[in-house]
A and B are shown apart, each in its own frame.
Chain A
Amino acid sequence: MSVRAQIGAVVVKDVRSEVRNRYAINALVMFVVTAVATILFALRSEQPGPATLAGMYWVVIFFSAMSGLARIFVSEEERGTALTLQLTTSPGILFAGKLAVNTGLTLLLTLSVSALYIVTFPGFVIRSPDIFALTVLLGSIGFSASATILAAIIAKANSRGTLYPVLSFPILIPLLMTVMNATEKALEGAAFIEAVGDMQVLVGYCLIMIAGSFLLFDYVWND
């Protein structure tokens, strides 16, 4: 039995479904645009420093990711297709597939927000691309692993998307602090060696989150 082909099929199904329904993309785009516009109005002509910019960058990603990624399970539950999935695939395969889709979406999100920030904020200059790229990559994986398992819990708990950012915050604090820290360094033009500690934390966080979610998902998914 080719597990990889099965995971691939979950991804294909979700991507095609997303292309037709835009459950997650619409929520993401709306959030990003509103948040960035609000920040621009609030700042007027002020030029925030790297620490503030790094914070603003991840706040937008955090809230849009949390609102958009939840859709991936909530929509299955709302439409009644969760049972279809349970009858079609194992929890492990489903989790791997949904995690891959969420990671892809989050990477797309961080890329678009980065592009938007580079054009809108003159102070948002990526002086250390190596630190920035790795931070964004690991941050996206960490976000999606937590988002995927939280979405599954919430979809099953029947409480819909509203609870989501609230529940996710405590779990994501260590991740948020670290990515903000590392992003600040990337904006300041620090050498890679200065960010090694942050990267170690990020790698650790991702591994723990993925392994933990994978184990937890079995219990969440089947009654």
Chain B
Amino acid sequence: MRSSSVKLDSVSKRFNRRTIFEKVSASVNAPGSLAITGRNGSGKSTLVKILAGVLSATEGKVSLTVDGHEIPRELLYQQVGFVSPYLMLYDEFSAAENIRLLESMRSGRRAADTEIDSLLDMVGLAHRRNDRIGTFSSGMKQRAKYAVALIHRPAMLILDEPTSNLDAEGIAIVRGVAERQSTSGILIVATNDSEEAGWCSQQIPLGIG
């Protein structure tokens, strides 16, 4: 197991002049987990995007350290897995193609068929591996995103609204993913569902005060 930790050091975010959140601090050491909670519009998605390095913080510092090295922002993509309803896969590619293409863009390596198949099997999409994502239902798309987010065994897995569109079986699969990640690496969950927040050992509520 790799040692890793993520740290938020009085992070604030403003869009134009509107302050979304101010001076948020938290830290998680692997193995560990953190839930980010708060009502609609409190900035949960904004904060996880900052953690993933796709948005910058207005103030404060975010750092992910893996094996003693702080990961520069432009390389965060190699260490982060991200699942959310607003993340899109390529409709014109099949589930297996999406995983393979995105993984080869991410690491330059060609993922083995067995790797792809076992992930698709895990999310219950093995029988649809060669169908275009565009033909998938929204729950099936959400499942496929888990396969894409896990293929590179990320040090930090970020789940924004982890169970949106999922059925009971899908929710159970995600709970298993969350459990494995929080006992082997870093898990971040952004949600306003108290049950999902309960998967994590720490919680930070946004939009209070």
Contacts and interface: CB of A to CB of B under 8 A. Distances in A.
Interface in A54-91: 79-81, 83-91
Interface string B66-100: 00000001110110101000111111110001000
Contact of B54 (A1, A9, A83, A93): A83
B109 to A, nearest CB: 7
B108 A1 contact: yes
A10 interface: yes
Given A9-B105, A21-B92, A83-B54, A88 B77 contact: yes
A89 B104 CA distance: 10
A16 B93 contact: yes
Chain A interface main SS type = helix
B74 A6 contact: no
A1 B74 CA distance: 14
B55 interface: yes
B52 interface: yes
Given A5-B108, A6-B104, A9-B104, A87 B86 contact: no
B132 to A, nearest CB: 9
B102 interface: yes
Q: In the complex, which range does the number of interface residues on chain A fall in?
A: 20 to 34
Contacts of B54: 83, 86-87, 222-223
Contacts of A218: 74
A13 B101 CA distance: 6
Contact of A79 (B56, B73, B91): B91
A1 B91 contact: no
A1 B101 CA distance: 16
A158 interface: no
A87 B92 contact: no
A88 B93 contact: no
Given A20-B92, A92-B74, A223-B55, A87 B108 contact: no
Interface in A1-56: 1-6, 8-10, 12-13, 16-17, 20-21
Given A9-B101, A83-B54, A222-B54, A88 B106 contact: yes
B74 A80 contact: no
Q: In the complex, which range does the number of interface residues on chain B fall in?
A: 20 to 34
Nearest to A91: B74
B164 to A, nearest CB: 15
Given A87-B52, A89-B77, A10 B90 contact: no
Contacts of A12: 101, 104
B107 interface: yes
A89 B105 contact: yes
A81 B133 CA distance: 13
Nearest to B132: A20
Nearest to A11: B105
Contacts of B108: 1-6, 8-9
Nearest to B56: A223
A9 B87 CA distance: 20
A37 to B, nearest CB: 31
B93 to A, nearest CB: 7
Contacts of A89: 77, 105-106
Contacts of B92: 16-17, 20-21
B88 A88 contact: no
25 contacts: A3-B108, A5-B104, A5-B109, A6-B106, A8-B104, A17-B90, A20-B92, A80-B86, A80-B87, A80-B88, A81-B88, A81-B89, A83-B86, A83-B88, A84-B89, A84-B90, A85-B105, A87-B77, A88-B102, A89-B106, A90-B75, A90-B77, A218-B74, A222-B54, A222-B73
Given A80-B88, A81-B88, 14 more contacts: A1-B78, A1-B108, A3-B108, A9-B101, A16-B92, A81-B89, A83-B54, A84-B89, A86-B54, A86-B77, A88-B77, A88-B102, A88-B106, A93-B105
| 9 closest cross-chain pairs (CB), A and B | A5-B108, A9-B104, A2-B108, A80-B88, A20-B92, A9-B105, A6-B108, A86-B54, A90-B74
